Amino acid sequence: MSDHRARTLMVVGTSSSAGKSLIVTALCRVFARMGVRVAPFKGQNLSNNAAVCSDGSEIGRAQAVQALAAGIAPSVDMNPLLLKPGGGGTSQVILSGRPAGRGTEQFYRDNWSNLWDSITGALDRLRATYDLVIIEGAGAVAELNNGGRDLANLSIARYAGSPALLVGDIERGGVFAQLLGSLWLLPPGERELIKGFIVNKFHGDAALFDGGVSILQERSGVPVLGIVPFLEDLALPEEDAASLDGPVHERRQEGATDIAVIRFPHIANFDDFDPLSREPGVYLHYVASLQDWGNPAAVILPGTRATMADLAWLRSKGLADAICRAATGGVPVVGICGGYQMLGRRITDPGHTESDLDSADGLGLLNHTTAFDATKTTHQVRARLGTAPGWMAPLAGQTIDGYEIHMGRSSGGTPWLLVPHGGQDEAVTPQGNATPDGRCWGCYLHGIFCNETFRRTWLASLGWRQLPAGTAASAVEESLDRLADAVLCALDMNALQAIIEGRDTGFGTARGERHAT
């Protein structure tokens, strides 16, 4: 390994959803525009949405977006430990990009040293390659019950000798208790690593918080580097399903094409549908009960981390019957990944890879069966449409890009996609299934709606009228630049640069003393 060791900066939060990921994303774009070779890193991530690197490794979606902001390809070293929540309160452990077990207490006891070595080894490799590594923490920084087994927060900063910034969310209220309480709860050795505060998600004129800045600085001895505004309508993928639990702010436009996405309890990779929601004239809403159903022009069953459990939930809520009635009435129904598995005739799991059930009947809208085994498929894909029915017919022979992350293999029916073996080889495997009229269809390809021609051709088959709009990729790039501009304007970049370089910031208050008086 090279003797070169990049400088580091860590961003930790007072809680989950304080905005750590967006701050890291913004800083990756800011420093990349300055010509710095910068890379993101998150040792351990708990994420509903995952991305697939070029070698087939899985990492958290946020780190893939951060890599995009930095102008580099995502790699497994950016997120060496990924936890994917599943059924029964457990998580699938993805270590160095590959499945490694279930995230139980016993697993952590037995594998802690290996996990630590994998995380620090990945960070070392990034530091040998780049000039600056921006490290994102996980959850709340002051988790007092972790028993000294921190794999994600200030133990990483101590290992790297990294300064850290603490982010508080003023929108949820109590930002003084968030920032000061978190700082004061840290043991002295970790408290000294916090070199700056960021107040995030501020509504209105930041000057109104000048008094708050003084209070925070006087009581902590830590400089407030900036007040970052609340930014609306960022076209960036979410990594946590909690973002779907809040109120729906978007109102349906008159004449908009209404698309219902089933909000499974274990929904995964729901960023698949962001390109649809950004199309003018499309109203996309998530359905978790019959009361949410409405009168959709199409229904989508998304990916899930627990196909069998969510299929049972679908039936318990009456949504399975609603989907079948809609399909019988001519409403198009689409399944992606786990949703595609549900649309078939039957799902078997003889080895109990995914659940305690041996098998379950699918919805029977497509004529395929799925069998789970211990092999997990993960790769990026450039597929080609074969002989395609219905609305797909004009697209025959065209290529579409995406990625696969799934357990289980499906067979039977009428495949319409030709997928290279391993995502890249010349030999192809037929995949997917569709009804003869193309109204009901499904496949394993995540990201399929990012392909503009495919997306808009399907929307047109629903009666949507195409309007001028930018591509999904341009919307993401514009959002990354807008986010970076806002953070750049909000932060004291001279002080931040001094913190990264280990220089005096000019902030003179004695640190960590005044809170005791």
Cβ(266)–Cβ(314) below 8 Å: no
Measured torsion, CA atoms of residues 412, 413, 419, 420, in degrees rounded to the nearest 10: 30
Interior angle at CA 450, CA 449 and CA 453, nearest 5: 75
Which residues lie below 8 Å from residue 95, measured CB to CB, with a gap of 6+?
80, 81, 114, 115, 118
- One-letter-per-residue 3-state SS of 335-388: EECHHHHHHCCEEECCCCCCCCCCEEECCCCCCCEEEEEEEEEEEEEEEEECCC
Q: Which of 266, 368, 406, 446 is catalytic?
A: 446
Q: 3-class SS at 247?
A: coil
Q: Could you tell me the CA-to-CA distances from 270 to 51, 241, 292, 484 in Å, in that order? A: 12, 8, 18, 24
337 catalytic residue (yes or no)? yes
Q: Which of 53, 337, 440, 450 is catalytic?
A: 337
Q: 3-class SS at 53?
A: coil
Backbone φ, ψ for residue 218 (5° rounding): -65, -40
Q: Which of 14, 16, 15 is nearest to 216 (CA)?
A: 14
| Spatial separation of the C-alpha atoms in residues 90 and 265, rounded to whole Å | 13
Instruction: Return the structure tokens found at 420.
Output: 């290279």
| Spatial separation of the C-alpha atoms in residues 271 and 376, rounded to whole Å | 21
| Spatial separation of the C-alpha atoms in residues 127 and 143, rounded to whole Å | 27
Q: 3-class SS at 495?
A: helix
Q: Which of 177, 171, 164, 142 is nearest to 222 (CA)?
A: 164
* Enclosing H/E stretch for 497: helix 493-501
Active-site positions?
337, 446
